[in-house]
Amino acid sequence: MELTSLAIHELSERLLRKEVSSVEVTKAFLGRIEEVDKNIHAYITVTAEAALKAAQRADGMLAGKEGVTPLTGIPVSVKDIFCTRGIRTTCASKILGDFIPPYDSTVVKKLKGSGAVLLGKTNMDEFAMGSSTENSAFFKTLNPWAPDRVPGGSSGGSAAATAASECAASVGTDTGGSIRQPAACCGVVGLKPTYGRVSRFGMVAFASSLDQAGPFTRDVTDAAIMLKAMAGRDPLDSTSVDMEVPDYRSFLSGGCKGLKVGIPKEYFIEGMDPDVEKAVREALNVLKGAGAELVPVSLPHTEYAVAVYYLVATAEASSNLARYDGVKYGLRVNEAGSLIDMYKKTRDSGFGGEVKRRIMLGTYSLSAGYYDAYYKKASQVRTLVRDDFSAAFRTCDVIATPTAPTAAFRFGEKIEDPLTMYLSDIFTISCNLAGIPGISVPCGFTKDGLPVGLQILGREFDEGTVLRAAYAYEQATGWHKRRPAI
C-alpha cells in the first residue's frame, strides 16, 4: 500500500514501529504533489525544502521518543489564510500576493509543536469568500472526483489536497460552511469546532464572530487527532475559551446506541438533489440500525439564516478588510495623484469581484440610517437561530442533516448568480451563526459518481459526541475508504 493512501493514525503506527521514516513519508507526499497537482491545482505554495528539514527533526524526535504525538512526522497542509513565518500568505488575493508574515499563526505553531510536517499552503476563494474556489485570484482548484466540477469552497484547496492524497490532512476555515461543504464535495471528513475552541490568532480575518479553524481528514479518527492538536486557550485570541481539551479519540468507542439524533424538517426541502436526499436518508437509517433513536426537531428560523449571515458576515468583512489600503503591507498602486486616489486604485486593483461585492454590501448595512434596519436586525435574528438549537438540543444529543443541497456543481454554473451560489451553504450557515460544532462525513455518491456528505451538529463544546456519532456511522459503512482515481 502506498504511503500517501494511509490515514494519520496508520502512518503514525508505522513511524513508531520504525517501519518507515518521516523523511520517506514526506518525500512520498511531495512526489504525489508533483505527480498530480498539475491536474488538481490544490496548492498555491509548496514548501518542499522546509518540509524535508521538518521531517528530519521529526525523525530525531521519534528516535528519542520525547515529545512524540500522533502527528509527529505526519505531512499536512494549511489553507493559505494562516500566517506562516517566512512563507508567503496570500489569502488567494492579489492584494496580499507578496505578503510574507514575520510570525506563525497559533494553529500553525501548535501543529509544528506536535511534530507535524508542513507541506505547503492550499488554494481558496479570495479572503475565504465563496463556495467553489472559483474566486481565487490565481487559479481554480479542480475536484479530484470530476475535473469539470468545483471542489467546494472556500477551503476547496484543502479538501481537494486531502481527497487527492496530496497530504495526510489539511486545515481550513469555516465561516459559513467553508470546511463542511468542500468536505462533502470532495468525499472527505471536515470538522468545524465550536467557536472559541481553536485560536484565530494569525488567521486572516473574514468575519470575526463566525470564523473558526478546523481539519480535513481521511476519517473521523484523524479528525479527533487533529482537533486535539489544534484546540485550546490562546492568550493572543480573546475569543478562545479556557476549557480543558479532552483526548477526542476517547469518545470514538462509544457507539451510538441510545443516542438521540434530531432530524430537522427544515433541512429536507424542495429543490434538493434527489440523489443527495436519498443518500442522507439511507445514512439516517444506518444510524438507526446501529442503535440511535431518530427524533423530529424543528429549527424554525432556518429560513432566515442565509439573509442573516450575508448581513453579519459582510458587515464584519467590510470592517476587517479596511486595513488593506496599500499603506503598511500588501499591494500598493503608486500611480496615484493623492492618498485617497492611492487607496482607491490599490483596493480596486487588489480585490476581486466577490470581495468587492461583499465589502459594499457590508458597508451599506453599517452605514448611517441603515444600521438598525439591517445589521442590528440581523444580529437579533441570529440570537433566535441560536435559541432554536438550544431548544432542539433539549430533546436530542446531536442533529443530522445533509451537508449541502447538491453534490459538487460544474464550473461556471453559479459564479454569475451570487444568490444561487450563496444558497449552496444553506444547510451549514446556521451552525456558524449559533457557534456550535459540526462535521461532514462521506455518506454515499450520486448517480454521476459524486460524493455526498452527512452533516452532524452538536452542542457547544461537545465535539466529543459529534465525533462519537460520526465515527459510529463511519464504522457501519465504507464510504470514507473510497478514493478518486487520479
For 346-387, give the DSSP string. HHHHHS-HHHHHHHHHHHHHHSTTTTIIIIIHHHHHHHHHHH
Which residue has cell 470581495?
355
Could you give the count of Cα atoms lying within 13 Å of 340 in the half-sphere of its Cβ? 0
Read off the C-alpha cell for 4. Answer: 500517501
Element (DSSP H or E) covering residue 311: helix 305-320
Read off the C-alpha cell for 232. Answer: 485550546
Nearest to 351 by CA among 369, 334, 326, 374: 326
Give dist(CA 261, CA 248) in Å, integer: 20
What residues are annotated to the active site?
A: 79, 154, 178
Element (DSSP H or E) covering residue 214: strand 213-217
Read off the C-alpha cell for 254. Answer: 462509544
Order across the sheet with 260-264: list the strands. 43-46, 117-122, 75-79, 169-173, 213-217, 189-192, 438-445, 451-458, 398-402, 260-264, 293-297
Read off the C-alpha cell for 330. Answer: 500588501
CB 164 within 8 A of CB 412: no
CB 79 within 8 A of CB 122: yes
* DSSP structural state of residue 428: T
